[in-house]
Amino acid sequence: MSTSERPGNRRGLAGKPGDFVEFIDIQKTYDGETLVVKNLNLSIRHGEFLTLLGPSGSGKTTSLMMLAGFEVPTQGRIELDGRRINDMAPHKRDIGMVFQNYALFPHMTVEENLAFPLQVRRMPRADIEQKVERALEMVQLSQMRKRRPAQLSGGQQQRVALARALVFDPKLILMDEPLGALDKQLREHMQIEIKHIHQKLDVTVVYVTHDQSEALTMSDRVAVFNDGVVQQLATPTDLYERPENAFVAQFIGESNKLRGVVSSQNGKECIVNVNGHGDVRAVPIRANGPGNKTTLSLRPERVRINPTDGVFTNQFDAQVEELIYLGDHTRARVSVLGTDDFVIKLPNAEGVPDLAPGSPIRIGWKPEDCRALDWS
């Protein structure tokens, strides 16, 4: 699979780069009453690894199925490599797909499974053998070629499914929660393996998952879905460090939520009164000026305990409610600013903190780590 064969590359040189797949004003409804996908606009660049991340029922799988051709958009246009593919039959799209439960054909051996997409393309027998061989080597399953899928472990089945989706050199690979059925260790291993294969082959991958750590590990960019809408499309770093709304802040990683009303706001900073318990300085992202409600989002690991006075502009009295020792860090649940589910992560790097439930402490954080988002 040399890179020069890839049509996407040719397009990358000739056409405008950056939009290999485009969802334009896509809406999808199954019953004519509720929209599963609401006005989706999404551009996928050539060669990137893009993950559709969201809770179940958020529309991510439906979007993938529309791209694969198994669902028809109710409204809008899907373009692949500059061509409208709304009405193109799935088998003409040349899109490789890895299914949730692998969908390996149980009556065929590993080899026959891999040869299937090549046979239906009427490739010469010698070419088929060569390509199957290469694909088997890629996923290190050459010894398993004569086995049936039922005789393979879950991880091996997953590799076969991956190899089968890649063996006919598709320009685009779709993966629908392909690692969902594996145990944690194998899943993490496969995440890295898939990432390496993606880098090596320079294919475009659209990956669907509900597992945020999987999305962060593997993706170039992540589209966070909720309620049929893309909440944010950004790199993993941006998504975690700079969530644009309260849903993303909550869904990606862990964050403390403080609800309050903006009392003053300028371009760089706003002051939010948290239910009369204190004023918090934060970065205004989706705050709508003085008098409006906002949700403050703050990562637990950005909070310091008992800081030296004057280091942080946000400093408050708190009380330890609960301590959970987790080895590499300790989670402390404290009550502060009228809420008692405020979580602090204390890294074990400097030893286990000397705290006890019920003890009063001071906590503080930087205004730039605290983001004033939409009311939720």
Q: Which residues contact 336 (CB under 8 A, 6 or more apart)?
A: 316, 317, 318, 319, 342, 363
Instruction: CB nearer to another protein: give 69 or 243.
Output: 69
Residue 89 contacts by C-beta under 8 Å, 6 or more apart in sequence?
69
Q: How far is the CB of 121 from another protein (least distance, A)?
A: 6
Nearer to another protein, 102 or 342 (CB): 102
DSSP state of 369: G
Least distance to another protein from the beta carbon of 81, Å? 17
133-134-136-142 Cα dihedral, nearest 10 degrees: 50
Query: Contacts with another protein in 216-275 (CB under 8 A)?
Result: none
From the list 100, 273, 313, 339, which residue makes contact with another protein (rule: CB under 8 A)?
100
List all residues 6 or more positions away from 306 whose beta carbon is below 8 Å from its beta carbon: 361, 362, 363
Which range, of 2-10, 92-100, 277-285, 290-298, touches another protein by CB under 8 A? Answer: 92-100
Check if the beta carbon of residue 296 is closer than 8 Å to that of residue 272.
Answer: yes
Binding residue (CB under 8 A) for another protein from 24, 76, 79, 94: 94
From 2-10, 15-23, 113-121, 315-323, span contacting another protein (CB under 8 A) = 113-121
Residues 50, 206 contacting (CB under 8 angstroms):
yes
- Pick the closer one to another protein by CB: 90 or 276: 90
Shortest reach from residue 112's CB to another protein, in Å: 10
| Gyration radius of the chain's alpha carbons | 25
Using the contact rule CB under 8 A, the part of the chain among 104-112, 203-211, 337-345, 356-364 near another protein is 104-112
Query: Least CB distance from residue 197 to another protein, whole Å?
Result: 18
Residue 326, Cβ density class (10 Å: 0-12 exposed, 13-18 middle, ≥19 buried): exposed
The enclosing H or E element of 184 equals: helix 184-201
Of 116 and 375, nearer to another protein (C-beta) is 116
- x/- string (CB under 8 A) for another protein, residues 52-91? ----------------xxx------------------xxx
Distance CA 127, CA 168 (A): 11
In the complex, what is the shortest distance from the CB of residue 168 to another protein, in angstroms, rounded to a whole number? 7
Alpha-carbon distance of 110 to 149, in angstroms, equals 7
Per the CB < 8 A criterion, the answer to whether 105 and 149 are in contact is yes
Q: Which is nearer to another protein, 164 or 281 (CB)?
A: 164
Exactly one of 29, 43, 101, 109 binds another protein (CB under 8 A); that residue is 101
Distance, CA of 319 to CA of 336 (rounded, Å): 7
CA angle at residue 207 from 10 to 24, to 5 degrees?
65
Q: Examine residue 168 and tell whether it contacts another protein (CB under 8 A).
A: yes
Q: How many residues bind another protein (CB under 8 A)?
A: 27
| Site for another protein contains 106 (CB under 8 A) | yes
**Pattern 118-157, another protein, x by CB under 8 A:** --xx------------------------------------
Where does this chain bind another protein (CB under 8 A)? 68-70, 89-91, 93-97, 99-101, 103-107, 116-117, 120-121, 164-165, 168, 174
